[in-house]
């Protein structure tokens, strides 16, 4: 069986600029949440490829928890600073959560979660980071 390593193709995470109202620790926590989301997806992809039919209940619950925490913090921060594209950004967050929650729901009904489905969620997150979060970063830097 061929295993794929996804960590090598993960582009750099967005750099959140240092803001006088936001500590360096807060920026690092945001980056670590991205790493955590992508890392959890990477681990689940490998696990499903190595052991088809493996129980992913805990992993999917943990992923959704991390996603919700990250999204909640980011949505609050966008509101606080008056980001003009906050609505579009929040809608993309909902799209990401909806797709992930649908996988968890299907899995909970005894249906298989395929590695490619997890890889699709991973790609959606990378797109979100590179499109939506970069736009937010540029706003913060202006």
Specify the residue for token string 């579009």. 88
Task: Please report whether residue 124 resides in a domain.
Answer: yes
Residue 64: pLDDT band with limits 50, 70, 90: very high
pLDDT tier for residue 101 given thresholds of 50, 70 and 90: very high
Please give the pLDDT value at position 100.
Answer: 92
User: Residue 37: which domain range?
Assistant: 23-141
Tell me what pLDDT residue 57 has: 86
Indicate the number of domains in the chain: 1
Instruction: Tell me whether residue 38 is in a domain.
Output: yes
User: Which CATH number do you get for residue 32?
Assistant: 1.20.120.50
Over 70: is that where the pLDDT of 27 sits? no
**C-alpha dist (Å) from residue 121 to 60, 82, 112, 137:** 12, 28, 15, 22
Q: Residue 13 — very low, low, confident or very high, per pLDDT cuts 50/70/90?
A: very low
Closest by CA position to 133, among listed 10, 13, 8, 11: 13
């Amino acid at each position: 069986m061929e295993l794929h390593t996804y960590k090598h193709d993960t582009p750099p995470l967005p750099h959140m600029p240092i803001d006088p109202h936001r500590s360096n620790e807060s920026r690092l926590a945001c980056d670590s949440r991205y790493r955590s989301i992508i890392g959890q997806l990477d681990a689940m992809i490998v696990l499903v490829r190595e052991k088809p039919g493996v129980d992913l209940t805990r992993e999917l619950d943990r992923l959704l928890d991390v996603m919700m925490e990250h999204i909640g913090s980011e949505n609050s921060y966008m509101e606080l600073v008056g980001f003009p594209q906050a609505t579009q950004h929040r809608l993309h967050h909902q799209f990401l959560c909806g797709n992930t929650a649908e996988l968890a729901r299907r899995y909970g009904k005894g249906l298989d979660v395929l590695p490619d489905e997890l890889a699709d969620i991973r790609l959606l997150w990378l797109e979100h980071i590179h499109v939506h979060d970069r736009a937010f970063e540029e706003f913060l830097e202006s």
